[in-house]
Amino acid sequence: MKRRQFIALTLALSSSVAVPAFAQDADQPYKGTRLAVLMEGHPTTEGIQALLPEFTAATGIEVELEVVPESDITAKMLLEFSSGSGRYDVVQNNIIYIPGFLKAGYIAPLDELAGKFPANYDKADFVPGYLNTNIVDGKLYGLPVYGESTFLMYRKDLFEEYGIAPPKSFGEVTAAAKTIKEKSNGAVAGITMRGAQGIQNVYVWAGWLWGYGGEFIGADGKSALGSDEAAASLDAFAGVLRDYGPVGVANFGWEENRVLFQQGKAGMTMDATVNGAFNEDASISSVVGKVGYVPVPVETDKLKGGSSSLAVHSLYVSEASQQKEAAWLFASWATAKEQQVKSFGLAPNSGVTSLAALNSEEFNKRYGAFKDAMLASINAGNPQYLPTVEAANEVINNAGIAVSKVLAGTATAKDALAEANAANDAALSR
């Protein structure tokens, strides 16, 4: 059975289960231990942070949690790792960086720790596609703390009013954006997406790259950003944002993009499936019940990979940590089904990695409006959506510079990507 089919089947068959309490040692052998944990700003992190007193009460372990934006976390992490400072015991990041972390010896294998302290590690409860991305050569290196795909979100009320059908191609996305901006006399942007340089703009543009038949790295292991498909995708992505996007979109990260859409100021957005939770939260959103959700469109049938992402962010134990046992206790607790189910009442967290949480009554109650589209996108998700190579950070940064240049109008897509292509080939050959 293929992995995607297995994910879908498991999601369909799994049901909510009783959640065991944290296995508390009577003598709390790690009481008084202080862990330094680095995580990114995200609803998942908000939920974990709110529950930390429960972890400390159960284990006696104190957690110093540092939260930074996703766009900053990799550089901060690499600085500490490369210096050998041992500053952090547990870190969080995208699984695309695992090859580089392993080569440099930055993260520890977890199988022995899982065997020694199994109480909060239920391998069968994780979405298989999420957990499997953390296994390299048969060894477990991370625990998925949240997962997501990408989809197209659109205003059902505006589409109905203006006679627009849900887009199935990027050409139709552009046409719909044009209609919305023109018919609203500019009061509503046709579309909003992330434009900020780096992982932010690359994460969303990657859907256009793959949807046009492009890819980051070819079968020969060399950069493929110099292709006609890549140039066409970047021309289309930058063009629709320049012509029909909101003012200042070149500086939009995840939060700016999300907020603008949920304020009703854009007709469409293309972003992470976790955004659906914010759209449907009446306490912060003006578009509750007005949003339609469909997988990311495609422009050609000559695809090299899917245009929806399969993004997994995991917790890793630092190889330099002097407290790996306590670090594992935190990582396994933070990703256990109990905490994931509790998180629904603490933050708009639809990016859970637990099957029990995904199939819970509470999840369906809160996120039923987009659950089917989310699972469809996950099951069609492209695990190579962002490059999973040792030089991933450099490849993404070089691509981000190209996207920003074209969005700003200072270079053509062909020229900007040719420059990125050369820089990426240099990085990949090292």
Phi and psi of 94, rounded to 5°? Answer: -70, 145
Tell me, what CATH number does 183's domain have? 3.40.190.10
User: Is it the case that residue 15 has pLDDT exceeding 70?
Assistant: no
My answer on whether 158 and 133 are in the same domain is no
* pLDDT value for 23: 46
Average pLDDT over residues 134-162: 97
Mean pLDDT of the chain: 93
My answer on whether 255 and 288 are in the same domain is yes
My answer on whether 26 and 121 are in the same domain is yes
Range with lowest mean pLDDT among 5-14, 39-48, 55-64, 234-243? 5-14
Average pLDDT over residues 251-257: 97
* Inside any domain, residue 187: yes
* pLDDT value for 129: 87
My answer on whether 258 and 213 are in the same domain is yes
Average pLDDT over residues 275-298: 96
Task: Give residue 351's Cα distance to chain centre.
Answer: 9
Last residue of a domain, one of 368, 395, 411: 368
Specify whether the CB–CB gap between 410 and 182 falls below 8 A: no
Specify whether the CB–CB gap between 337 and 357 falls below 8 A: yes
My answer on whether 208 and 249 are in the same domain is yes
My answer on whether 73 and 127 are in the same domain is yes
* Inside any domain, residue 373: no
My answer on whether 192 and 284 are in the same domain is yes
My answer on whether 247 and 338 are in the same domain is no
Residue in this structure with the two tokens 């009577």, named with its chain if needed: 26
Q: If you ran DSSP here, which 8-state letter would residue 250 be given?
A: G
Other residues' Cβ atoms within 10 Å of the Cβ of residue 70 = 21
* Inside any domain, residue 154: yes
* pLDDT value for 108: 98
292: nearest Cα among 401, 398, 394, 374: 374
My answer on whether 178 and 265 are in the same domain is yes
Average pLDDT over residues 298-308: 94
Residue in this structure with the two tokens 């500053």, named with its chain if needed: 87
User: Is it the case that residue 348 has pLDDT exceeding 60?
Assistant: yes
For β-strands 62-68 and 135-136, DSSP reports them as unpaired
My answer on whether 174 and 249 are in the same domain is yes
* Inside any domain, residue 229: yes
My answer on whether 127 and 25 are in the same domain is yes
Domain count within the chain: 2
User: Is it the case that residue 4 has pLDDT exceeding 80?
Assistant: no
* Inside any domain, residue 376: no
My answer on whether 232 and 340 are in the same domain is no
Average pLDDT over residues 216-232: 97
The helix/strand/coil state of 98 is: helix
Average pLDDT over residues 312-326: 97
* Inside any domain, residue 399: yes
Instruction: Supply the pTM of this predicted model.
Output: 0.85
User: Is it the case that residue 26 has pLDDT exceeding 90?
Assistant: no
* Inside any domain, residue 378: no
Extract the runs of DSSP E, i.e. beta strands, from 234-370. 268-272, 291-295, 311-317
User: Is it the case that residue 18 has pLDDT exceeding 80?
Assistant: no
Give the range of the structural domain holding residue 32, as residue numbers without chain letter. 3-141+313-368
* Inside any domain, residue 36: yes
